């Protein structure tokens, strides 16, 4: 590692925490502008979510041609995605290729968790510590720590004494797990559970699925890449990338719906849902009508359609009924895409256990016991129990502003951020796809690129104008938080006990975390902020200015 120092004594201009897709692009882009940048990554290699989530069946729910970097036009033409939706190994291969192609690894320190970050007011620098006891100083700090990067295993009595093996989907062994002939249990039926269950069922001698809350899931209709579709997409790649910025979720090609579900006759509406069901994909389905996420009655028409599909797919009507969600409007929890999920319950070796009826009481050496006194013997258990989403990764770092404010204090009643990019009281600190930005409600790679480019433009503005410190004004942050909440409250999203509101983590404050006003509106707000000279951000000069770009 280089110990070269910048003019003002800081080791770096920008330190980035996390080498997932956002951290990698931030490194590429800022290094290209002449900043001294280094990335610290707790994992052994690049990829973030795609490095850790290696469970069977893991794949992206955004189509491959969309879920990729837009900054390298040559690469987007060259790269051949083999399937409609990228598998985890394929996406990781792609991310590794990007890292090699742009020589990014030379500026990344792996296996190096950042444990603390403190702003030194006098020196006008962030001081970070690593798990290995290193100290890093930098003028600016970018947290690219991810939204779904802190896996959660519920606390169960007796788990320590369980004699089988257990795994979390978000920390999967790198050499894989062979469940052939084993009695397996999967706890959790979110995206990770729903993707892995059909594959584990094909290997296991018996699979018990422990379901607390049934979820809506649609067929992905994955398959080999359609070469004509690929060719047409590649011819138009630039225009499609541009167009993606003008959509609510950062994905082009879906004409905005114009009609309410309630103004369409029943048969016509069913035919439209049928068409979307056959096409596969969640955006297409939720975009059938303009009010599916705004009006409960409209939403019910789509939810009932999917409920009927579950009834038609699952042969045992009692099992089907247990798999049907009634407690939240469709789409208000992340809508899942599956490949043969509901069909899996027609297998003789699969049993659904309703742990809302009889919760898991404890683990035993042989398996687990539910509150109705049933014992389930298992050789392996998979926790598909999700993440401390959106705030967990930052709260795990001892992050403080050097003047008595910690992130734990700041976020004690839920996250508070200015546009998901920065926070009042934490100077010179950025987040990429932080809470109260569209983040998980958009195509994440595009969201990361947009944030990075906004940050870069802001840094350039500071550099050119001789500013060395920014701070978010409290009232600007308060206004954004209010705006974020108002928008969420105008939708059906808050009706679900989802990880969007932190409901999956006992004791976590219930606050709607992502911005759901649409990526298009959000990007416009970011652009206007820049055009208007960054109102809401206090700029000052402390110490030396950064070098001009080479
Ligand atoms: P998740 O959506 O939070 O699902 C966790 C599951 O575990 C839920 O069924 C939850 O039940 C259950 N659970 C949690 N704590 C439990 C407890 N103490 N006892 C019993 N059950 C418990 O997590 P995930 O499936 O890992 O997915 C998280 C997000 O990652 C997704 O929503 C998606 O955004 C992303 N993801 C995307 C993909 C993809 O691109 N296809 C794949 C995987 C993940 P409750 O619902 O009752 O809380």
Query: DSSP characters for 195-232?
Result: HHHHHHHHHSSEEEEEESS---EEE----B--HHHHHH
The DSSP secondary-structure symbol of 544 reads P
- Spatial distance between the Cα atoms of 391 and 414, rounded to a whole number of angstroms: 8
Q: Single out the residue of 99, 87, 102 nearest to residue 21, CA to CA.
A: 99
Average pLDDT of the residues in 214-220: 97
Distance in Å, CA 135 to ligand 1 centroid: 36
Distance in Å, CA 192 to ligand 1 centroid: 6
- The predicted pLDDT at position 11 comes to 87
Ligand 1 site, residue 189, Cβ cutoff 6 A: yes
E strand map for 330-374: 336-338, 350-354, 360-363, 367-370
Distance in Å, CA 385 to ligand 1 centroid: 5
Query: Is residue 104 within 8 Å of 46, Cβ to Cβ?
Result: yes
Ligand 1 site, residue 450, Cβ cutoff 6 A: no
Which of 190, 359, 376, 508 is the best mutation target for the ligand 1 pocket, counting ligand atoms within 8 Å of the beta carbon and taking the most?
A: 190
- The predicted pLDDT at position 1 comes to 34
pLDDT greater than 80 at residue 547:
no
Residue 223 pLDDT class (50, 70, 90 cuts): very high
Instruction: Output the residue whose Cα is nearest ligand 1's atom 28.
Output: 386
Query: Is residue 143 within 8 Å of 394, Cβ to Cβ?
Result: yes
The DSSP string of 476-495 is: HHHHHHHHHHHHHHTSSGGG
Residue 542 pLDDT class (50, 70, 90 cuts): confident
Average pLDDT of the residues in 501-505: 93
Average pLDDT, the chain: 95
Residue 132 pLDDT class (50, 70, 90 cuts): confident
Ligand 1 site, residue 501, Cβ cutoff 6 A: no
Distance in Å, CA 542 to ligand 1 centroid: 45
Instruction: Specify the pTM.
Output: 0.95
**Residues across the chain:** 550
Ligand 1 site, residue 191, Cβ cutoff 6 A: yes
- Spatial distance between the Cα atoms of 41 and 162, rounded to a whole number of angstroms: 32
- Spatial distance between the Cα atoms of 545 and 550, rounded to a whole number of angstroms: 15
Ligand 1 site, residue 148, Cβ cutoff 6 A: yes
Which percentage of the chain shows pLDDT scores above 70?
A: 97
- The predicted pLDDT at position 550 comes to 34
Q: What are phi and psi of 184, to 5 degrees?
A: -120, 145
Distance in Å, CA 153 to ligand 1 centroid: 11
Q: What are phi and psi of 358, to 5 degrees?
A: -135, 90
* CA Rg value for the chain: 24
- The predicted pLDDT at position 6 comes to 53
Distance in Å, CA 189 to ligand 1 centroid: 6
Q: pLDDT tens digits for 395-410?
A: 999 999 999 999 999 9
Q: What are phi and psi of 14, to 5 degrees?
A: -140, 125
pLDDT greater than 60 at residue 2:
no
- The predicted pLDDT at position 406 comes to 98
Ligand 1 site, residue 334, Cβ cutoff 6 A: yes
Query: Is residue 27 within 8 Å of 109, Cβ to Cβ?
Result: no
Residue 546 pLDDT class (50, 70, 90 cuts): low
Average pLDDT of the residues in 460-485: 96
Is residue 519 helix, strand or coil?
Answer: helix
- Spatial distance between the Cα atoms of 278 and 217, rounded to a whole number of angstroms: 13
Please name the residues in contact with 83: beta carbons below 8 A apart, sequence gap of 6 or more: 59, 64, 90, 222, 223, 224, 225
Distance in Å, CA 384 to ligand 1 centroid: 6
Q: pLDDT tens digits for 293-318?
A: 999 999 999 999 999 999 999 999 99
Distance in Å, CA 98 to ligand 1 centroid: 29
- The predicted pLDDT at position 70 comes to 96
Sketch out the chain's domains with CATH numbers.
4-150+389-547 (3.50.50.60)
Q: pLDDT tens digits for 279-297?
A: 999 999 999 999 999 999 9
Ligand 1 site, residue 64, Cβ cutoff 6 A: no
Distance of CA 488 to the CA centre of its chain: 18
Residue 10 pLDDT class (50, 70, 90 cuts): low
Q: pLDDT tens digits for 312-339?
A: 999 999 999 999 999 999 999 999 999 9
- The predicted pLDDT at position 7 comes to 43
- Spatial distance between the Cα atoms of 400 and 407, rounded to a whole number of angstroms: 6
Q: What number does the ligand 1 atom closest to the CA of 213 have?
A: 47
pLDDT greater than 90 at residue 5:
no
Q: pLDDT tens digits for 420-443?
A: 999 999 999 999 999 999 999 999
Q: Single out the residue of 448, 393, 431 nearest to residue 151, CA to CA.
A: 393
Query: Is residue 40 within 8 Å of 13, Cβ to Cβ?
Result: no
Ligand 1 site, residue 213, Cβ cutoff 6 A: yes
- Spatial distance between the Cα atoms of 204 and 199, rounded to a whole number of angstroms: 9
Ligand 1 site, residue 251, Cβ cutoff 6 A: no
Report the DSSP pairing between strands 380-383 and 165-168.
parallel
Distance in Å, CA 412 to ligand 1 centroid: 23
pLDDT greater than 70 at residue 544:
no
Report the DSSP pairing between strands 206-211 and 183-187.
parallel
Ligand 1 site, residue 386, Cβ cutoff 6 A: yes
Distance in Å, CA 410 to ligand 1 centroid: 26
Which percentage of the chain shows pLDDT scores above 90?
A: 95
Q: pLDDT tens digits for 144-193?
A: 999 999 999 999 999 999 999 999 999 999 999 999 999 999 999 999 99
């Amino acid at each position: 590692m280089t110990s070269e120092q910048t003019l003002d004594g800081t080791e770096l201009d920008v330190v980035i925490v996390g080498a997932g897709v956002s951290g990698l692009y931030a490194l590429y882009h800022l290094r290209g502008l002449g900043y001294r940048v280094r990335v610290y990554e707790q994992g052994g290699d690049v990829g973030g979510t795609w490095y850790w989530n290696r469970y069977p069946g893991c794949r992206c729910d955004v189509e491959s041609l969309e879920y990729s970097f837009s900054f390298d036009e040559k690469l987007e033409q060259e790269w051949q995605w083999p399937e409609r939706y990228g598998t985890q190994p394929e996406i990781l291969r792609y991310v590794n290729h990007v890292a090699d192609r742009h020589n990014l690894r030379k500026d990344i320190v792996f296996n190096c968790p950042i444990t603390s970050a403190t702003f030194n007011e006098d020196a006008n620098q962030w001081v970070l510590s690593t798990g290995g006891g290193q100290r890093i100083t930098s003028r600016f700090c970018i947290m690219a720590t991810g939204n779904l990067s802190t896996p959660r295993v519920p606390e169960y009595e007796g788990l320590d004494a369980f004699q089988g093996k257990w795994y979390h989907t978000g920390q999967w062994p790198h050499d894989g797990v062979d469940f052939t002939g084993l009695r397996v249990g999967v706890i959790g039926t979110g995206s990770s559970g729903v993707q892995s269950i059909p594959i584990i069922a094909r290997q296991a001698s018996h699979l018990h699925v422990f379901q607390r809350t049934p979820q809506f899931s649609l067929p992905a209709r994955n398959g080999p890449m359609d070469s004509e579709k690929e060719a047409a997409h590649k011819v138009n790649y630039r225009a499609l990338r541009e167009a993606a910025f003008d959509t609510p979720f950062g994905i082009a090609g879906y004409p905005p719906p114009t009609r309410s579900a309630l103004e369409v006759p029943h048969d016509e509406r069913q035919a439209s849902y049928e068409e979307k069901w056959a096409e596969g994909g969640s955006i297409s389905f939720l975009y059938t009508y303009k009010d599916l996420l705004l009006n409960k009655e409209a939403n019910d028409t789509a939810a009932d359609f999917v409920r009927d599909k579950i009834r038609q797919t699952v042969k045992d009507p009692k099992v089907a009924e247990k798999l049907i969600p009634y407690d939240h409007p469709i789409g208000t929890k992340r809508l899942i895409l599956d490949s043969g999920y509901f069909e899996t319950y027609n297998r003789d070796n699969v049993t659904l256990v309703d742990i809302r009826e009889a919760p898991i009481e404890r683990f035993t050496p042989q398996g687990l016991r539910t509150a109705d006194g049933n014992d389930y013997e298992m050789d392996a258990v998979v926790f598909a129990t999700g993440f401390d989403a959106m705030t967990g990764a930052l709260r795990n770092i001892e992050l403080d502003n050097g003047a008595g404010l910690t992130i734990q204090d700041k976020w004690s009643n839920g996250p508070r951020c200015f546009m998901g990019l920065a926070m009042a009281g934490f100077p010179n600190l950025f987040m990429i796809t932080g809470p109260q930005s569209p983040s998980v409600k958009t195509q994440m790679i595009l969201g990361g690129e947009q944030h990075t480019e906004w940050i870069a433009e802001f840094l350039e503005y500071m550099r050119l104008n001789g500013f060395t410190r920014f701070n978010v004004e409290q009232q600007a942050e308060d206004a954004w938080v209010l705006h974020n909440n108002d928008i969420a409250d105008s939708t059906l999203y808050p009706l679900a006990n989802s990880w969007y509101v932190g409901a999956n983590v006992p004791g976590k404050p219930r606050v709607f975390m992502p911005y759901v006003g649409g990526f298009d509106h959000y990007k416009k707000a970011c652009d206007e902020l820049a055009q208007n000279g960054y109102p809401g951000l206090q700029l000052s000069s402390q110490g030396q200015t950064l070098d001009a770009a080479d």
